[in-house]
Structure 1
C-alpha cells in the first residue's frame, strides 16, 4: 500500500473502483447512487452522498481512510461533525467503528476493488524522479485535455498575482497609475535588477516625475540620482549636468538615493546593463504621462507595443553603456523580447486585475487575448515540458505551465490536476483479486 488517503479520495470521487456486487463489510447490498461532493474544509471528506444499503436510501456524508482504525486515530469518535457519516470507505478494514449512539458504522472495503493498473499509474507518478511527475506520460495525453487544464492554471496564476497587486493598490490608496508605475519599474529590472528598480520606485513616487514631465534633463537627473549613480566625479558634460540638477532636486524633495552597489552588472550583456535600462526607463516616464490610463483605453495589441518603442532616450547613451565606459555603437531602444516581457508580466496582469476590480469582463478578455498573441517564454521549465511532448506555442501556455509546475507538479498534486487525472484513468477495469 504505497499511496496516500488522497488517492482513495480520487478513487471514490471518480468512481474508479469495481462496482460489481458491492456489499458492506457486514454483508449488506450496497449501491452508490451519488458519491457526494469533495469537502476541502473541516469535517467528513464527502458531503451530500446518496447511498442505497439494503432497501434503504441514505443521504449524508462519507468518510475515507486507509484503515478503519484511522477513525479512532483522528478522534472522529468524539467529534459531532462525523455523526451523520452514512458510509466509511476504507482500503483495509481492521476494526469495527461505532457511532456515539452505539450503532455500527457501515464500511465499504476497496482493497480488492481498485485496478492494479490504476495503482501502478499512481505509484509511477508519485515516486517519479523526473523534473515533473508525469514527464514520461504527458506526451500521450490529448493536447485538448492539456490546454483545457492550462486555461484553469492560467486563471489561477492571474488570481494569485492579482491578490498581491491589490495589496499594493491598497498601500497606494487606490491609485492605479502609481501602482502600475511601481510594478512597471520592477519589471524593468528583468529579474536580476528587479529589486533595485523597486527601491527606485519607492524612493521617488510618480507624482514627482509629473511635476517635471516637460524637462528631459530633470527626469533623467531624478532617475540616475535616485539610483545612486551620480555620486562621482565625471569628466563628461552630460553626467555633470545631471549631478548638478539632482543636487537641487534632491534637496527640494528630500530624496534619499539608493546604494549604487544594489545594481548588478556582473555576467550581463552590456545591452542589459542597469544604466541603459535606467535611461530607457527615464525616456518612458518622459514619453508616457498617465501610462496606465492609456493602456486601459488601447485595444489594439500593436498599439500597446508602440508605447514601449521609439523612446526618446538621451543621445548620450548611443555611445555609452555606463557613465564611465564609452562604446562604439549602442542600441538605445528596448528590445522586442523585453517589450514582450513587459506586456506579459505587467500590462496583461493589470488589465486582468482592473477587470476584476471593476467587474468588467472585457478587460479580463483583453488580458487573455494579449497572452494568446505573444510568443511563449523560453526557460528551463517550459523546455522540459516541450521535451516531454507538450505544445507551448503562445505566452498563454507558457504562463500556465509555470503555474502548473509551481502549484501542482512541485507538490505532486497529480490527483488535483486535470492532466494527472487523465493519466490515471484506467483503460480497463482490472480483474478482481480473489
Structure 2
C-alpha cells in the first residue's frame, strides 16, 4: 500500500503502533514519555518530545520520514534546526543516519508495528469513491469535532482571501480607502469578470471618483469609458451625454489607455451580471456612500445595514437596459439581487474586516466576521449539497464557508490526515 509521510505523522502523534518492548534500529531499548507537539511549520515534525533510550532520558525533537534515507535527501544534516532531533521515526530503516558529530541517529522503524485497523481505515478512506473521502462516517463524527474542523477551514479560507487584500494594500502603499474600493470592484466582477473589474479600479483612482460623487452620470461615464464599454456613438441622448462626459474627463485626467471590450466576459453570463450592469451598480453605490471605507468599517455592522449600503438603484437608463442600445420592455435592473448581496457580504465585507484585523492586530474583527456570517443564509451549491447528502446540514454562512474551505483545501486534494474529522474517524474506527 502506498502512503504519504503525513500518515506516519498521524501514527506517531496518536501512537497507533505496538509499544511493548520497543527497540531502536540499533537494538537499544526505547520508551516514549512524551510524543511532542506537532509542528506545522519548518523544522522537525514534533517538538519538545521526551524519550528514554537505553535508560537515558532524552529531551528534543522527533523527525518522521517514510524512509530513513530521506534525512539525507532533505539535507537535514546541514540544517541546525535538526541538531536537537533525538529520534528518527521511519517506516523503513533503509540507511544509517549520522549526526553532525558522527554518531548514529536513534531510529525507530514502524514497519510491522502499526495497528492493522489503522491501515484498513486509512486505505478505506483513500479508496472511497465519493469526493468526500470520509462520507461513510461523516454523520457519525462528534459535533464538536466537525465544528472544530469547520472553524479551522473557515479561518484558513479567510486568511487566503485577506492575503489578496493585503497584496492590494501593499500596492497602494497602505491606502485602506483605495484598497477597499479596489476590492469592492474585484468582488463585483464575481467569477466571470473579477480580474477585469480589479484592473478597472486600478485605472481610476478612488479619490477622483470621490470628487464627482454627487454626479452619477459622470461616475458612469468615467467607469464605463475607462472600461472600454462606451460605444463610439449612439442615437440615445443619455448615451451621447456619457460619451461627451467621458471625452472631457479623459482629456482632463490624461487617460490615454482605456481597457478594451475584449477584456470583459459577456458570453455565458446572465444579463443581470453583465459588466455594464455591474459597473452601473458600482457607480450608484459610490454615489450613495460618502466614504466607502467608513461605510464598511464603521457605519455598517450587520446584514441589514450592508444590504442598505449595497442595494441601491442605478440610473434610470440602466433600469431598462442590460447593455447599450438594447432597451428591455420591463424594468431590468433594480439593483443587486438578494442572493448576490449576501455573496458580496461574504466575499467583500468579511475578508476586508478580517484583513483589517490582521493588519492592525485586532482579533475582535475575527469574531465580528463569525457573527456576521451567522446572519447570512446558508449557500446552496454543489459543495454544500454534497455535505448535506451525507448527513451534515448547513444552517448559515459560517457553516457553508467552512464547508467550502474543507472541500477545497482538504477533501478535494485528499489531505484527509490533516483534517480533524478524518483523524477522529480513523481513531474511533480502530477501537
Same topology, TM > 0.5? yes
Distance 1:59 1:139, change over 3 A: same
Where does 1:68-217 land on structure 2 (aligned, <5 Å)? 68=68, 70=70, 84-93=84-93, 105-217=105-217
Shift of 1:124: 2.4
Aligned mates of 2:214, 2:83 — CA distance in 1 = 73
Where does 1:275-314 land on structure 2 (aligned, <5 Å)? 275-297=276-298, 298-309=300-311, 311-314=312-315
C-alpha distance after superposition, 1:234-253 (max 9, x if no partner): 11211111111211111111
Aligned mates of 1:18, 1:406 — CA distance in 2 = 35
Which secondary structure does the structure 2 equivalent of 1:131 belong to?
A: coil
| Alpha-carbon RMSD | 2.6
Aligned mates of 1:320, 1:312 — CA distance in 2 = 13
Residues 43 and 82 of structure 1 are in contact (CA less than 8 Å); yes or no, is this contact kept in structure 2?
Answer: yes
Aligned mates of 1:100, 1:188 — CA distance in 2 = 57
1:401 to 397, 400, 403: 403
Shift of 1:413: 2.0
Q: Are 1:263 and 2:264 an aligned pair?
A: yes
- Of residues 33-42 and 413-422 in structure 1, the stretch that sits farther from structure 2 once superposed is 33-42
Matched with 1:335 is: 337
- Give the TM-score, by structure 2 length: 0.89
Q: Structure 2: give runs of 5+ residues left out of the alignment.
A: none
Where does 1:335-414 land on structure 2 (aligned, <5 Å)? 335-414=337-416
Shift of 1:295: 1.8
Which secondary structure does the structure 1 equivalent of 2:122 belong to?
A: helix
Residues 68 and 94 of structure 1 are in contact (CA less than 8 Å); yes or no, is this contact kept in structure 2?
Answer: yes
Which secondary structure does the structure 2 equivalent of 1:32 belong to?
A: strand
Residues 31 and 51 of structure 1 are in contact (CA less than 8 Å); yes or no, is this contact kept in structure 2?
Answer: yes
Which secondary structure does the structure 2 equivalent of 1:342 belong to?
A: helix
Aligned mates of 1:226, 1:97 — CA distance in 2 = 63
Matched with 2:6 is: 6
Residues 18 and 114 of structure 1 are in contact (CA less than 8 Å); yes or no, is this contact kept in structure 2?
Answer: yes
Shift of 1:15: 1.4
Aligned mates of 1:425, 1:208 — CA distance in 2 = 59
Shift of 1:347: 0.8
Where does 1:31-50 land on structure 2 (aligned, <5 Å)? 31-40=31-40, 44-50=44-50
Aligned mates of 2:415, 2:219 — CA distance in 1 = 49
Aligned mates of 1:288, 1:322 — CA distance in 2 = 25
- Of residues 149-158 and 387-396 in structure 1, the stretch that sits farther from structure 2 once superposed is 387-396
Distance 1:301 1:26, change over 3 A: same
- Give the TM-score, by structure 1 length: 0.89
- Of residues 379-388 and 78-87 in structure 1, the stretch that sits farther from structure 2 once superposed is 78-87
Aligned mates of 2:113, 2:65 — CA distance in 1 = 15
Residues 394 and 400 of structure 2 are in contact (CA less than 8 Å); yes or no, is this contact kept in structure 1?
Answer: yes
Matched with 2:60 is: 60
Distance 1:320 1:427, change over 3 A: closer
Distance 1:235 1:12, change over 3 A: same
Aligned mates of 2:157, 2:391 — CA distance in 1 = 23
- Of residues 375-384 and 412-421 in structure 1, the stretch that sits farther from structure 2 once superposed is 375-384
Distance 1:380 1:85, change over 3 A: same
- Of residues 361-370 and 98-107 in structure 1, the stretch that sits farther from structure 2 once superposed is 98-107
Shift of 1:104: 5.1
Distance 1:42 1:240, change over 3 A: closer
C-alpha distance after superposition, 1:86-136 (max 9, x if no partner): 333333445666656665554434233211111112122334453243233
Aligned mates of 1:328, 1:391 — CA distance in 2 = 41
Matched with 1:432 is: none
Distance 1:362 1:262, change over 3 A: same
Aligned mates of 1:428, 1:151 — CA distance in 2 = 26
Shift of 1:218: 1.5
Which secondary structure does the structure 1 equivalent of 2:192 belong to?
A: coil
Aligned mates of 1:319, 1:414 — CA distance in 2 = 50
Which secondary structure does the structure 2 equivalent of 1:245 belong to?
A: helix
